[in-house]
Structure 1
């Protein structure tokens, strides 16, 4: 296992790219909820919903589940029905110090070579600009790399996985409200981000939307509002109520997307996805529920549901976009109190064999 730095050849120069989420997975990495204070006293119902998500993913692919202490491991085993042999239910447990559950953001971003060699990129994580504790979570990519004995690039730049959405054909979507906040990388502008994402994730065309959902503590991650479902199709959140603060932002995003083109100059197919109809409130104000925070796995798509009038409509819109996958609605009403949902809680490990790293004359 090699540690590579910005002084070494970049993933892009070696033919590595971040694959799209719908590419085949070897596993899904997740982190078990553990801190009742972070969940405003709702840890038990959060764990119940989370366990159903783990069980669903494990029916289709292996789950590598991080647990931070003995209590978390005991609770996970009990809720999932795991015995001494984790593999019986396609779940492997790993004891790792953790601050929170949002492994999409603090976990590694995998890159894949032309012959399906696999490496990972380890970006800095600072809890969305220092909003929460992050010191343990920032070390998760190193734990994953060590477990997999996988070569990785260590990068001195803050980047969360939920902030970047790729289409598998060289295009990525991001938001200005997130990436350009001064609490992440104040020295970076749009041009510098485009260069970094090209060099380390293989992004050839970076497309920018302005903003995300009201009261989203990530400052507007792309994965809460707008997603690729294939290389040419984008689903984007819309809010029908003109009096809702999300209406103007989502409408501006929709207008911008309709004017964007792919790497080949072709317009995207843009599909509107309603936000939940009901306004959900938490201890810190409005919550940011969204159906766009779905997770695409091997043969399935897990879509958050909130007991909302728009739940079924969201499933009906998404199902035709994934004709070869089971589109499954799962409850996320308790989970959303933490500010995110299924995509935020998962990180895919693409299929591939660990890359052995650079030869000594290049290391």
Structure 2
């Protein structure tokens, strides 16, 4: 299996770009929750919500599930009996494969490869050594030649529209615990060469007490090439209010490479403030996951649950929009998009 270094021809030079999430998938990759301490004593409830998420996704496309030990595999198999799931036993630290897993790329001939970025648990906040090896396991299983990068990058930190535009946040990418010294211009060049992002758009920040330092996928998402859904807070006393309002105003002025403005759709944040073991939790409806014929949206038993679904359903007329409970999962700081990583449909690249 070939490993391409930063000095090799880049993915972009070989014609590879990151497809949008709504492009057809071959499968979804996930990691089974295993550590009760990381879930602050909520593991049993988390596994219940997580199993329902896996079962739902597996109705529409195959799921590759990473399990870290015998107990995890037995628990998962017991809960997921009959579902279209393939199990992979590897060491794991945590479950957030959106950030620790590979980012897949595809070329104009439909060939699929991946980029292996470094993962350091959002700037060294938790253990990460095992999770940093996940992309290599995935590449080995698929037999994929791929690119190894020295930079830290988490999948939840970027959004793409499939037409050369990317979204991210300064609060995340510009931290000194990820890639010290990299500027906005440096990231623009890096993401152009590796993921095919020709125009990188920046928002300032994300949700209060988000341990990812404000990932874009918790607040603002592309749902097609021209439409952006962005979170808004309605309580002016909420610390999230001003940040989300500034994001909204900036998004309304942003343009694509042709100078055209995007369609901006407001998505309410949950109305109820949730507290966890380490302070305020960051529940959001924007952390939905788009798959083959479906969209799964996290719900929290909140008054705004149904409102959020009403906003999203008209944006996905060709997909079933499914609300699932994520009240236990949010205790760990993330939700459905954070727990999933799509493998695009296509022929597995053999290198050249």
> TM over 0.5: same fold?
yes
Q: Which residue of 2 aligns with 1:64?
A: 64
Gaps of 5+ in 1: 83-88, 359-363
Q: Deviations over 1:94-135 (max 9, x none)?
A: 001100000000000000011110100000000000000000
1:101 to 89, 95, 98: 95
Q: Which residue of 1 aligns with 2:194?
A: 200
Residue 322 of structure 1 pairs with residue 316 of structure 2: yes
Q: Which residue of 2 aligns with 1:81?
A: 81
CA distance in 2, matches of 1:280, 1:184: 28
- Contact between 1:27 and 1:62, CA under 8 Å: does it hold in 2? yes
Residue 289 of structure 1 pairs with residue 283 of structure 2: yes
Aligned-pair CA distance for 1:187: 1.7
Secondary structure at the aligned position of 1:143 is classed as helix
Q: Which residue of 1 aligns with 2:249?
A: 255
Q: Which residue of 1 aligns with 2:326?
A: 332
Q: Which residue of 1 aligns with 2:301?
A: 307
Aligned-pair CA distance for 1:264: 1.5
Aligned-pair CA distance for 1:139: 0.1
TM-score, length of structure 1 as denominator length: 0.96
Aligned-pair CA distance for 1:90: 1.2
Q: Deviations over 1:57-78 (max 9, x none)?
A: 0000000000000000000011
TM-score, length of structure 2 as denominator length: 0.99
- Contact between 1:174 and 1:209, CA under 8 Å: does it hold in 2? yes
Gaps of 5+ in 2: none
Q: Which residue of 2 aligns with 1:188?
A: 182
Q: Deviations over 1:18-72 (max 9, x none)?
A: 0000000000000000000001111000000000000000000000000000000
CA distance in 1, matches of 2:99, 2:147: 16
Aligned-pair CA distance for 1:357: 1.2
Aligned-pair CA distance for 1:306: 0.1
CA distance in 2, matches of 1:268, 1:49: 34
1:353 to 343, 347, 352: 347
Residue 38 of structure 1 pairs with residue 38 of structure 2: yes
Aligned-pair CA distance for 1:232: 0.1
